[in-house]
Structure 1
């Protein structure tokens, strides 16, 4: 089996990365950062997000597992003192594959047939660079509302505990094939009106954001940030691809939610 190890870059994570690499080489596994069967991340959830975006072209062939060197994460669920156990599992145990849905984002521009396609593990957020975000929100090709406010966040179920939760969105179990749309400070008065509540769309529903003013947009895809000009539309839906996690033991999602937000 071929493996790769990605570190957050701090001294502790780098040392642990080298330790994992040496252990796995001793078990006669092959180090291959180009076409790995499994990617081990050392750091936190942000490190796994980074690794995911390095291997979006290999999602059918590469699985991920995370070791945390800070706070326990939703993706990085192995502790540093468990590294020897994890290495033995990787080298000796056929692991279970768990697949979680991803968000597909397609940005189209005015006067251009070319579009840009992105995959998000956590979320996509959209804000205007200057002033309020003003966009028509279409669901399944029908106008649902005209949004006015600070911005919109479209998240995956596994990303529902991140920015989405801070915006008052619901926490969804990561096995649900869906996306969630949450508002950022919407403007609601006698003239303007939005639903004012997060929306959860199933796999076969597409949401389309269409700007009503000619401004530049600040779009984030997980940790990636960009400014897009002359945007015609932003299309979001559940992606055909999924992320694959290597599971060597039960992963109690609701227990992790409780530990993270109630009584860790």
Structure 2
């Protein structure tokens, strides 16, 4: 497979198509070939924000033999996208001069009702979709850890810790740590239901299981990154980590903590 094969993932509208003509032309001038099938590409490039990057990773199947990169078209802050339409030539220069630095972002693996595995780069959430709390027994490995009652639970990767997880007062985690974080969404704590009351972080060697109690809330919704799926009945959700990672292009002097500072402190 040619390491110069590029696949672009973007919203097919007239404005985006027009803006990308210069990108396509420069790619060809530098000896890259643009392919229409992501399976033939070694570099997969999303054009848009973080949401588009997450969608590109999911739609291309969390490719382990490809490198992902993200381009944004404005000055908005982005966690996953190193490049924008004003400096996309840096991407070609980096690859051509073998100055490529690669991040390896851990992902979580999710099974619902013992079905097929779904990978998540950001997070998986379980939420109530009606005006009623959801009740979930939480297991860590074989230990019944707590019984949660509230609006829902977020399980995030280290990179996903800056998203929904952070809005629930969860911690921001260094992506170099292979771990995942469990955070509550509006939990109720009383004599009948008792939770830790804070986020907790587990190493990749652990497995978390959620078992929904039959309490009249039969319409939960499960979201994998930015895609949500209503599920009639959740018997069990199993969350774990394996060796799967997402490899992304990294500009020099642009660590994850540089990104966090730009997003929240600049």
TM-score (norm 1): 0.91
Q: Pairwise CA RMSD of aligned residues?
A: 1.8
Per the alignment, in what secondary structure is the counterpart of residue 105 of structure 1?
Answer: strand
Distance apart, 1:10 and its partner CA = 5.7
Question: Is 137-146 or 185-194 further displaced after alignment?
Answer: 185-194
Contact residue 4 and residue 38 of structure 1 kept, 8 A: yes
Contact residue 9 and residue 56 of structure 2 kept, 8 A: yes
Contact residue 103 and residue 236 of structure 1 kept, 8 A: yes
Contact residue 77 and residue 262 of structure 2 kept, 8 A: no
Contact residue 7 and residue 17 of structure 1 kept, 8 A: no
Corresponding residue number in structure 2 for 1:127: 127
Question: Is 23-32 or 60-69 further displaced after alignment?
Answer: 23-32
Contact residue 82 and residue 250 of structure 2 kept, 8 A: no
Gaps of 5+ in 1: 109-113
Higher strand share: 1
Distance apart, 1:127 and its partner CA = 1.3
Return closer, same or farther for 1:254/1:24 CA change in 2, 3 Å cut-off: same
- Looking at structure 2, the residues matched to 245 and 189 of structure 1 have their Cα atoms a distance apart, in angstroms, of 44
Per the alignment, in what secondary structure is the counterpart of residue 105 of structure 2?
Answer: strand
Per-residue Cα deviation, 1:65-96 (whole angstroms, up to 9, x for no partner): 11112302010121322122322323443522
Which of the numbers 17, 25, 28 marks the counterpart of 1:14? 17
Per the alignment, in what secondary structure is the counterpart of residue 159 of structure 2?
Answer: coil
Distance apart, 1:124 and its partner CA = 0.5
Corresponding residue number in structure 1 for 2:42: 37
Which of the numbers 81, 103, 107 marks the counterpart of 1:102? 107
TM-score (norm 2): 0.90
- Looking at structure 1, the residues matched to 20 and 199 of structure 2 have their Cα atoms a distance apart, in angstroms, of 39
Gaps of 5+ in 2: none
Per the alignment, in what secondary structure is the counterpart of residue 82 of structure 1?
Answer: coil
- Looking at structure 2, the residues matched to 140 and 166 of structure 1 have their Cα atoms a distance apart, in angstroms, of 27
Contact residue 29 and residue 91 of structure 1 kept, 8 A: no
Return closer, same or farther for 1:170/1:93 CA change in 2, 3 Å cut-off: same
Return closer, same or farther for 1:16/1:88 CA change in 2, 3 Å cut-off: farther
Question: Is 149-158 or 127-136 further displaced after alignment?
Answer: 127-136
Contact residue 98 and residue 246 of structure 1 kept, 8 A: yes
Distance apart, 1:23 and its partner CA = 1.4
